[in-house]
Amino acid sequence: MSALVDAFGRPLRNLRLSVTDRCNLRCSYCMPEAEYVWLPKPNVLTFEEIARVVAAFVTLGVDELRLTGGEPLLRADLPVLVRMLAARPGLREIAMTSNGVLLGEHAAALRAAGLQRLTVSLDTLDAATFRLLSRRDDLDRVLAGIDAARAAGFAGLKLDTVVIAGVNDAELPALLDYARGIAAEIRFIEYMDVGGATQWSPEHVVPRARMLELLRRSHGPIRELPRTDSAPAERFVLADGTTFGIIASVTKPFCSTCDRSRLTADGMWFTCLYATHGTDLRALLRDGADDDTLRARLAQVWQARRDRGAEVRAALPDRRALAAAASLRQNPHLEMHTRGG
Ligand code: SAM
Ligand code: SF4
Ligand code: SF4
- CB 56 near ligand 2, within 6 Å: no
Q: How far apart (Å, rounded) are the C-alpha atoms in residues 266 and 277? A: 14
- CB 274 near ligand 3, within 6 Å: yes
Protein residue with its CA nearest to atom 5 in ligand 2: 70
* Cα 161 to ligand 1 centre (Å): 9
Q: What is the pLDDT of residue 230?
A: 78
- CB 308 near ligand 3, within 6 Å: yes
Half-sphere exposure in the Cβ direction for 151 (13 Å, CA): 13
The amino acid at 243:
T
- Closest to 31 (Cα-Cα) out of 199, 276, 261, 277: 199
Backbone angles phi, psi at 70, to 5 degrees: 20, -165
The fraction of the chain above a pLDDT of 70, given in percent, is: 99
Q: What is the pLDDT of residue 1?
A: 53
Exposure class string for 127-160: b at 16+ Cβ within 10 A, else e: eebbeebbebebbebbbbbbebbbebebeebbbb
- Closest to 192 (Cα-Cα) out of 179, 206, 178, 182: 206
In a domain, 298, yes or no: yes
Count of structural domains within the chain: 1
Q: Determine the structural domain holding residue 86 and report its residue range.
A: 14-339
In a domain, 264, yes or no: yes
In a domain, 4, yes or no: no
* Cα 272 to ligand 3 centre (Å): 5
Q: Taking each helix axis from N to C terminus, what angle separates 47-59 and 78-86, rounded to the nearest 10 degrees?
A: 30
* DSSP structural state of residue 70: S
CATH label of the domain that carries residue 24 = 3.20.20.70
Cα dihedral 219/222/226/232 (nearest 10): 50
Q: In what order do the strands lie in the sheet with 243-247?
A: 222-224, 234-238, 243-247, 185-190, 158-163, 117-121, 93-98, 64-68, 14-18, 260-263, 268-270, 279-280
* Cα 27 to ligand 2 centre (Å): 6
Q: Which long-range contacts (CB under 8 A, 24 or more apart) does 237-241 make?
A: none
Q: pLDDT (tens digit, 9 = 90+) per residue, 129-156?
A: 999 999 999 999 999 999 999 999 998 9
Mean pLDDT of 170-198: 97
- CB 69 near ligand 2, within 6 Å: yes
Of all atoms in ligand 1, which is nearest to the CA of residue 200?
A: 23
Protein residue with its CA nearest to atom 4 in ligand 2: 30
In a domain, 163, yes or no: yes
Q: Which of 73, 75, 99, 247 to mutate to test the pocket of ligand 2 (most atoms within 8 A of CB)?
A: 99
In a domain, 254, yes or no: yes
* Cα 72 to ligand 2 centre (Å): 10
- CB 260 near ligand 3, within 6 Å: yes
In a domain, 169, yes or no: yes
Looking at the CA of 336, name the nearest ligand: 1
* DSSP structural state of residue 4: P
CB 310 within 8 A of CB 274: yes
Of all atoms in ligand 2, which is nearest to the CA of residue 71?
A: 5
Q: What is the pLDDT of residue 3?
A: 84
Q: What is the pLDDT of residue 341?
A: 83
288: left (phi over 0), alpha (psi -120 to 50) or beta: left
Looking at the CA of 119, name the nearest ligand: 1
Of all atoms in ligand 3, which is nearest to the CA of residue 273?
A: 8
CA 195 from centre of chain: 13
pLDDT at 2 over 70: no
Question: Which residues lie below 8 Å from residue 49, measured CB to CB, with a gap of 6+?
Answer: 267, 282, 285
Cα dihedral 252/254/260/261 (nearest 10): 60
Q: pLDDT (tens digit, 9 = 90+) per residue, 194-231?
A: 999 999 999 999 999 999 999 999 999 999 999 888 78
* Cα 341 to ligand 2 centre (Å): 9
Q: pLDDT (tens digit, 9 = 90+) per residue, 65-103?
A: 999 999 999 999 999 999 999 998 899 999 999 999 999
In a domain, 7, yes or no: no
In a domain, 94, yes or no: yes
Q: How far apart (Å, rounded) are the C-alpha atoms in residues 131 and 139? A: 8
* Cα 288 to ligand 1 centre (Å): 34
- Sign of the dihedral defined by the CA atoms of residues 82, 338, 22, 182, in that order: positive
Beta bridge partners of 164: 205
Beta bridge partners of 188: 161, 246
